[in-house]
Structure 1
Amino acid sequence: MSRIGRTVALSKALAGRLRTAIRGTALGARMLGILARAGYATHGLLYLFVGLLAMSAALGKTSPPSLGEAFSIIDELPGGWLLLLTVALGLCAHAGWRSLEALLDFGSHGWGARGLFRRAGKLAEAFFYAGLGLLAAVIALDRSAHVREELREEAAFLVVWTGRVLDWPLGHWLVAAVGIGAIVVGVLQILRSRRDIFRDMSAGDRAMVAIRLVGRAGFGARAVIFGMVGVLFLSAAWRVEASAAGGVRAALTALASVPLGDFVLLALSAGLMLHGVFGLIKACCHNPVKP
């Protein structure tokens, strides 16, 4: 057996033992359930709130939201810093659950090329949600106005860092890679909504029909937004112009500018809200010890 084969076999055996040890005790299974459900609930509530902000933008009342702005709006509520800190902990819980799915294969994806690819996606999600949790915690705990204002301006942050990367040797290729990665993530949202996201849920047959409709609509909206973010980064790389890059707010703004853009934005906001509802449903119906 080659060195790589021995390493994979050892990793597989170690992950299997840890997975069995956690699932095999009442305390481990209970803590696993709390971690997974807290993460899914926070994830759902956040998307539901962002969807509401996007719907307000579609109706002409506000501008399209960024995630940083959503956190700042929560922080400005009475006692909002404590609520935002709770959101940060929930996002970190979601990152922890995604890490366990990736490293210990709680999703039963296996150790083949396809399974490792899916688990790599879970690990990338873990880093993403850990970053969001850190952003929420900084906004909640740092009371200095200028720091919070800088953090809430997603577009400025992305433009600054995109500009720095573009100044590197072959930097435009790195920016293009980010764009391609975002488009790939968008495609994966569609593929995941076919079956993967429902395999660890426990509900009746009729309920699962409705859950699948809600889940696929939500993941479809995410796919469109990730795809648009990818297009923006590819445009920045092609034009070597950092200001062309953008995140959620820039993607929603660009989509709102197409013909019938208000209806597109309204549909996407509804999709984001449905994704939030799906997260809350998954928090209720998710079975983290289901193989």
Structure 2
Amino acid sequence: MVDETSHASGAPNQQTEAFYAVKFLRRKRFETLLLSSESCPVKTSSICGDPRNSCIDKVPMTKHPSPSKQSIVMLSSPKGGVGKSSLSRNILVLAAQAGRQVLGLDMDKQATLATWAERRERVRASIPAVSHIPVHRASLDDWRSTLKMARQSSADFIVIDTPPSIEINMTAILGLCEGSDFVLVPCQQSQDDLDSVIPWMRHLKQSGAKAAFIINRANIRTRSYATIRSKLLNVGPVCPVEIAQAEEISLANGKGLGVMDLSRPKNAEAFGALWSYLRQELDL
């Protein structure tokens, strides 16, 4: 990581959320929040240079030899606004920084993940040290050909971001679940979220999919956190790492970055633990 005080005079001050916001808004300061080229050994990929366009014909269809097996993680929840896209992009950044050849599949019509990747490419134009994270936009109706394309690509770590309202195309969602190695079901601390995700987890278990809840935008200091976690554990596995509500996550997302692209992220421990958890679940 680059020491973001290395280009400034005087002793470093304690970081605050406001300080991060100023960093993002000022170009010269912003550059110091990113990994230096020496500390970012991520291999770039030639897949999907432009995330706005269909790029099946741009994806290398011959898989190159790789010491890593291909793993597919899917983010799925019937509830909208639970942070599927936010988790998807941060997981992609974690995998890229671990040296994986990554690929994101954005199956949501809102194209949140693909739009984030587009912002990231604009950042890379001036700061090439930022790892390339290709994202392919696709329709749920084309899930079979999209999954085939991903499997035949050189990517060894694939993240699928799916839309809510899974009942609109249940066949496609279940097909993607079956084709994934692991399904993460984000849930927030509310009864509305529980009412939505608990039946979905039961359905996933019945279908034989390997899945786990992940509590997103958590506040572990509240009584509701323990209540929600207990109720989730009664239904299925829960990721032992919760992701807190944090301003730096939204600030990073808005610039096409992940939290771990920042030099001193306050949530580094949580995201590092999340990557360790995924490695164990995927036997990487």
Query: Under TM normalisation by the shorter chain, which class is it?
Result: under 0.3
By percentage of residues, which structure has more helix? 1
Task: Give the TM-score taking structure 2 as reference length.
Answer: 0.25
Determine which structure has more spread, i.e. the larger CA radius of gyration.
1
Task: Give the TM-score taking structure 1 as reference length.
Answer: 0.24
Higher RCO structure (Cα 8 Å, ≥6 apart): 1
